[in-house]
Structure 1
Amino acid sequence: MLIGGATLAQEVPYEEYDLDNGLHVILHQDNTAPVITAGVMYHVGSKDEDPGRTGFAHFFEHLLFEGTENIERGQWFDIVSSHGGSNNANTTQDRTYYYETFPSNNLELALWMESERMLHPVINQIGVDTQNEVVKEEKRQRIDNAPYGKVIYGTGINPHLFGKHPYGKSVIGSMEDLDAAQLDEFIAFNHKFYNPNNAVLVVAGDIKIDETKKMISDYFGTITNNAPKPTRTVIEETPITNTIKETEYDSNIQIPLKILAYRTPGMKSRDAYVLDYISTLLTGGKSSRMYKKMVDEQKIAMQVLAFPRTMEDYGTYILGALPLGDVSLDTLTTAMDEEITKLQTELITDREYQKLRNQFENQFVNSNSSIQGIANSLARNYMLYDDTSLINKEIEIYRSITPEDIKRVANEYLKKNQRLELDYLAEPAQ
């Protein structure tokens, strides 16, 4: 058993332990408001899918709301809302997270529902068929028919950066793969991944620790594992040594977009935090470098962007700009490269450095300002970083970053010969 703690004013106390079946439990008690969040994060994402069966992890995000042996089909959301609660789920390349937020007098209901999802899910053909249509509609809305959808969800970028690793696949997957899958394949996926030994349960908010432990033992302690804990081997990508130049088309846009995308280290790397600093320096507000230069001064871009997508094994780093008027995409590339070169050759100013530190201090405090946010952070830090205590000490990593680190990371990862240059264009007229 471990007790978390730190010297920061916004310290988040927590307690964590394991049940005999391998389920990891994290408890955070905060009795200032009569609200609780209970969530279960499973270590399964799109990278865990078999070839030819993409989309399974995201599909299960939907499928496991269908019902259980003791919750009738279609009743999940009604039960939650009728007890004053809310719930949701989300899937990434690396994990799937389900959670409920309730008035604290419904803690036991939340625990029962999540134990039902783990122990007694009903996976049948009617549920698969129903959610198949739901997922198809989600893909149409978010990717196929949404402006810049393939950039927002990475489907127009990741396949060019990852040739071996499953990060090159879309999280939402292939509709053809889902259509071709048989019912027994969905059942097998559930048996393999949705077990106590592959999950973390977090309960945060207005709880009493001893009472909560007793409920958790009652509802989760007797659940057995259907399969051994999954083992993973990180698939090593071949280094990118020559610029990749590609074009993607989008029938939903009129203004093109220039993207520079790089493959970067996984989320546990300290350099991933340095790239966060670089993003904010370049496009974090109207006083940022790229915004001031390209939008305000040169008036060549109507919008600029820079952001990392951190994942467990690798990350990606995206720079982009939308042209103003008839400015060419090559002109945008030149301007972005000038800013990258500046990072690679000059240390940032003391004023910029202090502003970055202040912004991330504020961001760190805000990330722990809600019970839902705390629950998510605790689960994520344990599962993907192997360090629950990051909820209190992650700011120390940001504080340790120096101007020299920013220059070094820009030189190491933001090289022209190690990137994708993507022209994202409107679909040509037929």
Structure 2
Amino acid sequence: MNLNIKYDEYRLSNGMRVILHKDKSTPIVSVNVWYHVGSWNERPGKTGFAHLFEHMMFQGSQNVGSDMHFRLLQSIGGSVNGSTSFNRTNYYETVPSHYLELALWLEADRMGFLLPAMTQAKLDNQIDVVKNERRQTVDNQPYGTWLEKILETAYPADCSYHWPIIGYMDDIDNASLQDVSEFFKTYYSPANASLCIAGDFDDVEAKEYVEKYFGPIAGVKSIPAVKNTFSGQFSGEKRENVKDNIQLPRIHMAYHIPAFGEKDWYTADFLSDLLSTGKSSRLYHSLVYKQQLAQDAYAFTFGTEGTALMVFVATAQNGVPIEKLEKAMQKEIDEVIVGHVENSEIERINNQIDAQKLRELQSISHIADSLNVAAVHFDDPGYINRELDIYGAITKEELLNMAQKYLTENNRVVLNYLPK
């Protein structure tokens, strides 16, 4: 399917990328800022900083009071949020068109002038918030540590994917004002950022605002390269059993696959959809509906740079041994490995992927974010228009080759959660 998302692109003298996409169908505009920094830019003993900054960026800057970023935008009917991942942190707001200048000023003020307003009291407050978030979503949540355990088992301690995005509790607790200030100065620079403006705006006016507020922010000469030391594909199966306060066993299988953007990553992502999208998918139909071995069963890929994982998950029905569930899941994987994939399944998944992308692109904020995905990960906003063609060109033979190469026992981690 050919997409034609039009955009203009240029850079400021400080290195910041600017992407403009006009759509005057509704009087709103989305401002989306990506920083090419995430948990993989951290180091052992200093984990969770990227996620901590997602919180700190809303605590006020030199010219914006504490919590005023949220308050100012919400008072005009805008929506605002941020998120952190392994390779990026993003901040975004959608506002009525005539408030574009306000949104840009707010983003620029925290990019250029966050540190003068950062205090120990603010840091302590947000450390407590993040620690509580970790307790609620990880430590006190059934199966909550599964991703942490997968990463620790799949990657060595010196690999930048060894730790969780939210960080470890001790590292969060011990974060100093100097630590986080240095992290900010290193990575939250115009040269490490991409700004996308999408929606109803005037080109000349938007460029004037961008130059006025972002242009004076000093850039840094270089961003430290991430030293991804992982070279453990096909190094043997790794298994771990975790006893937890849970009622039902759950199995996780994680296979090492190539990085986001590689041909085989797209093939793995396509296969995960084929196996687990919808109640008619193979995993759900076989494990949940037909054999009634599992309460849920699904697969997905991590879209990470350098290297990635394809993960299979299933939660056992009451009384079903985890070994029996694993055997049944393995059988579904083996069916692909031996070539039991129908062309009709491939066509169905292609139609689903196309339909999902078209639904997403109905949102101007999603278009802004997708342009930044392409810009930051592939150095080309136009990649947004070609990605569906990559999925559409995947063949049965490529699915078979990918499965045979990567979905092997010597290339995986198996993590079982068992009731205490």
Query: For the superposition of Structure 1 and Structure 2, which TM-score range results when normalised by the shorter chain?
Result: over 0.9
> Equivalent residues in 2 for 1:244-323 (5 A)?
244-251=238-245, 253-323=246-316
Preserved contact between residue 30 and residue 198 of structure 2 (Cα < 8 Å) = yes
From 357, 361, 382, the counterpart of 1:389: 382
Letter in 1 for 2:303: T
2:186 is aligned with 1:219 = no
Q: Secondary structure at the match of 2:386?
A: helix
127 and 226 in structure 1: CA distance in 2 versus 1, 3 angstrom threshold: farther
Alignment of 1:198 onto 2:192: yes
Note the residue ranges of structure 1 that are not aligned, 5 or more in a row. Answer: 1-6
Residue 387 (structure 1) shift: 2.4
Corresponding residue of 2:15: 22
Aligned to 2:118: 123
CA offset digits 1:190-235 (Å, max 9, x no partner): 1111110111011111111121111111111111125533333432
In structure 1, what is the Cα distance between the partners aligned to 2:48 and 2:6?
A: 37
Deviates more, 1:22-31 or 1:283-292: 283-292
Q: Displacement of 1:386 after TM fit?
A: 2.2
> Structure 2 vs 1, CA of residues 336 and 111 (structure 1 numbering), >3 Å: closer, same or farther?
same
User: 2:133 corresponds to which residue?
Assistant: 138
Provide closer, same or farther for how the CA distance between residues 143 and 401 of structure 1 changes in structure 2, counting only shifts above 3 A: same
Q: What CA distance in whole angstroms lies between the structure 2 residues aligned with 1:249 and 1:124?
A: 41
User: Shift of residue 325 of structure 1?
Assistant: 2.6
Q: 2:201 aligns to what? A: 207
Aligned partner of 2:410 in structure 1 is 417
SS in 2 for 1:168: coil
Instruction: Give distance in 1, aligned partners of 2:36 and 2:148.
Output: 22
What pairs with 1:332-371 in structure 2 (closer than 5 Å)? Answer: 332-371=325-364
The Cα shift of 1:59 comes to 0.4
Match of 2:175 in 1: 181
Partner in structure 1 of residue 39 of structure 2: 46
Mapping for residues 83-122 of structure 1, pairs under 5 Å: 83-121=76-114, 122=117
Matches within 5 A, 1:135-174: 135-151=130-146, 154-163=147-156, 164-174=158-168
Partner of 1:12: 5
8 A Cα contact 1:347 1:404, kept in partner:
no
**Gap change, CA 1:77 and 1:352, over 3 Å in 2:** same
Q: Name the amino acid aligned to 2:143.
A: Y
Q: 1:337, 1:285 → 2: CA distance?
A: 19
Preserved CA contact (<8 Å) 1:347 1:403: no
Shift of 1:241: 2.6
**Which of 54, 59, 63 lines up with 1:61 in the alignment?**
54
Q: Distance in 2 between matches of 1:52 and 1:397?
A: 39
CA–CA distance in 2 between the matches of 1:127 and 1:38?
26
Q: What is the percent sequence identity of the aligned residues?
A: 37
Contact in 2 for aligned 1:142/1:149 (Cα 8 Å): yes
Contact 1:39 1:98 in 2 (8 A): yes
**CA offset digits 1:367-417 (Å, max 9, x no partner):** 212011111111111101222112111110011100101101111110012
> How far does the alpha carbon of each residue in 1:333-353 deviate from its partner, in whole angstroms, 9 at most, with x for none?
111111111111124112112
Distance 2:233 2:417 in 1: 24
Q: How many residues align?
A: 417
Native 8 Å contact 2:274 2:281 kept in 1: yes
Q: What is the rounded CA distance, in whole Å, between the counterparts of 2:43 and 2:293 in structure 1? A: 44
CA separation in 2, counterparts of 1:358 and 1:226?
44
CA deviation string 1:250-295 (max 9, x = no partner): 32x2111011111111102111111122112111111111222222
How large is the RMSD of aligned CA atoms in angstroms?
1.4
* Offset at residue 332 of structure 1 (A): 1.0
Instruction: Render the CA deviation track for 1:278-328: whole Å, top value 9, x for unaligned.
Output: 112111111111222222222222211111112011111111212223111
Other-structure match for 1:3:
none
SS in 1 for 2:67: coil
Q: C-alpha separation between the residues in 1 aligned to 2:63 and 2:72?
A: 12
Return the alpha-carbon distance in structure 2 between the equivalents of residues 301 and 229 of structure 1.
46
Q: Which stretches of structure 1, 4 residues or longer, exceed 3 Å deviation after superposition?
A: none
